[in-house]
Structure 1
């Protein structure tokens, strides 16, 4: 498989914007993970995202804007609660659900009459979108269901020439995807836990309902029960468990430092026990463990507070890929 063109994110913006305007695919850095972008107004370009990722057509995409002021220009009237959350958290790792405008083709929203939208907190991403002059539909830049990319090399290794251009902006800051919220009416509903903690949302919006997960067609991206998985089987265990003495070559993903006896490879998310650092390192650490050739990856959950809830959510979904419930 040949590789895409990899350009520095600062000097490659003009070329990447031209690729987007002409229907191509550009992988670009955000503060969360690398996105696989296409012109959100172009149904044919959006279809290329689904083909490149081997993504099922029922899983909607997130539309990215360069500026919060672009939301009403695209959508028209926006509920006050959505306006308030956008004013507080954009640019940032918050995706909001709004009504789909006629300008956005149904393929972008998988036929839903709603649309997921955000403004990324990454200068290169916003400059790219502004230079392209169009909203950009962009899920994570990886094969469907696999580990999200937090470095340009993850994109190249996972998607190859299915992408026209990769903008290399270095490692992403947050390391996990955005939080998705439907605040169109009544109490806001968190549809996907993410890099913006629920506690931060509640400081602005009051109590929220957390309802991540999907049993039918997803109402938001990244909500399927099995997702975010490495190629190596993964299992969530108690941090106190020693590895089984059965000859299986295992790697271990630890929250804080721990003895490595019995494991082929060990990755530590945060020696200091910092949940923000753990989230930022999560997918990168799993990519490294996946590349060691171990036969199984054991992971321990992190404290289930703040952004730790989103880390544990990703671990559960990754494990469900290999050990589905029931």
Structure 2
């Protein structure tokens, strides 16, 4: 078991020695958890096969699930990408730094352990000052999947990281709460002025269409079958400790359906947890309830989703009943995560 060092960064310039140490750990083959604007990532040298394999070991993650390499800027991406197409360049210019991961042909220097054996590499430049400073000190592309045990909800605070990763990594950099709360969108540049979404996230379809005329969804997102081209496509993810059912529809219809499910579960002697909006939550007992914000505030739900799911680890509940949202805008990414967390148990009540 590793001796995990937890450090809080509040001033990049005044605490640069800590970031230099974190960079050395990466270059020496160790593991450092770092903050981003989306979720916390578990970092290793993305050009070191053994270091990448240590991520799979720490997370208990299947090795055919590709890793995202994080870089501080476009120059960092050129360390790993064999070519940057005009469409990819356009996306980088507009969305980087930010919650967009771009899948590109890889250079031979990138090991199979970082790509799940694919001939492509997933690259992202996070919109987080502490993160990018750390990446510059590392000096190599840093593999950075979410810093949680595989299948579990992703962490958005250092405390949540320590729950899963204490003793599994060398250092955790506490940069405060993540402000987006769901992972990056992953796209593949599948042609001139055309991209395919491999995983929905912080950059929405609507935002992509402002830059690229043709935006499609990968068939694996729909069927759940096939070789994973990017993280989060094949295996169960984001799951809380208790089984969960998600109900989607209007506020009144969701409340009515949740009430019916709650009464049936209560009759069976089950303890129920609720992950709901303020409006829907007002109709139910507040014990074992996590309220994420107003019914129509998708940004609040995205920001609070994983913390809400993790909150039920400390509550003794048998079942979680959750309120979902429509799939417009950020809702697509939210429902992608909620469906996986619920194992597909989603009820539509429109």
The TM-score with structure 1 as length reference comes to 0.94
1:276 to 287, 295, 299: 299
CA distance in 2, matches of 1:35, 1:321: 26
Correspondence 1:200-215 to 2 at 5 A: 200-211=207-218, 212=221, 214-215=224-225
**How far did 1:277 drift?**
1.8
Q: Deviations over 1:91-125 (max 9, x none)?
A: 00000010111111111001000111110111111
Count of residue correspondences? 323
**How far did 1:73 drift?**
4.4
2:135 match: 129
1:16 match: 22
Q: Tell me the secondary structure at the aligned position of residue 287 of structure 1.
A: helix
**How far did 1:209 drift?**
0.6
Asked whether the equivalents of residues 246 and 345 of structure 2 are also in contact (C-alpha less than 8 Å), the reply is no
**How far did 1:160 drift?**
1.7
**How far did 1:225 drift?**
5.5
Asked whether the equivalents of residues 71 and 126 of structure 2 are also in contact (C-alpha less than 8 Å), the reply is yes
2:175 match: 169
Q: Tell me the secondary structure at the aligned position of residue 208 of structure 1.
A: strand
**How far did 1:38 drift?**
0.1
Larger Rg: 2
CA distance in 1, matches of 2:341, 2:141: 30
Correspondence 1:212-291 to 2 at 5 A: 212=221, 214-224=224-234, 226-238=236-248, 239-240=254-255, 241=257, 242=259, 243-244=262-263, 245-246=266-267, 247-257=269-279, 258-259=281-282, 261-262=284-285, 264-271=287-294, 273-291=296-314
CA distance in 1, matches of 2:97, 2:295: 28
Asked whether the equivalents of residues 68 and 87 of structure 1 are also in contact (C-alpha less than 8 Å), the reply is no
CA distance in 1, matches of 2:110, 2:4: 27
- Cα RMSD, aligned residues only: 1.9
Range with greater deviation from structure 2 (216-225 or 188-197): 216-225
Asked whether the equivalents of residues 82 and 104 of structure 2 are also in contact (C-alpha less than 8 Å), the reply is no
Range with greater deviation from structure 2 (79-88 or 290-299): 290-299
CA distance in 2, matches of 1:262, 1:256: 12
Q: Tell me the secondary structure at the aligned position of residue 188 of structure 1.
A: strand
2:165 match: 159
Asked whether the equivalents of residues 151 and 172 of structure 1 are also in contact (C-alpha less than 8 Å), the reply is yes
Asked whether the equivalents of residues 249 and 263 of structure 1 are also in contact (C-alpha less than 8 Å), the reply is no
Asked whether the equivalents of residues 278 and 293 of structure 2 are also in contact (C-alpha less than 8 Å), the reply is yes
Q: Deviations over 1:244-297 (max 9, x none)?
A: 232211111113433253463221222263211221111111111232121111
CA distance in 1, matches of 2:105, 2:182: 25
1:302 match: 325
1:179 to 169, 174, 185: 185
Range with greater deviation from structure 2 (78-87 or 220-229): 220-229
Q: Tell me the secondary structure at the aligned position of residue 183 of structure 1.
A: strand
2:6 match: 6
Q: 1:286 to 1:171 in 2, by over 3 A?
A: same
Q: Are 1:188 and 2:188 counterparts?
A: no
Range with greater deviation from structure 2 (67-76 or 280-289): 67-76
**How far did 1:143 drift?**
0.5
The TM-score with structure 2 as length reference comes to 0.88
2:88 to 82, 85, 109: 82
**How far did 1:5 drift?**
1.0
1:102 match: 108
Q: 1:3 to 1:154 in 2, by over 3 A?
A: farther
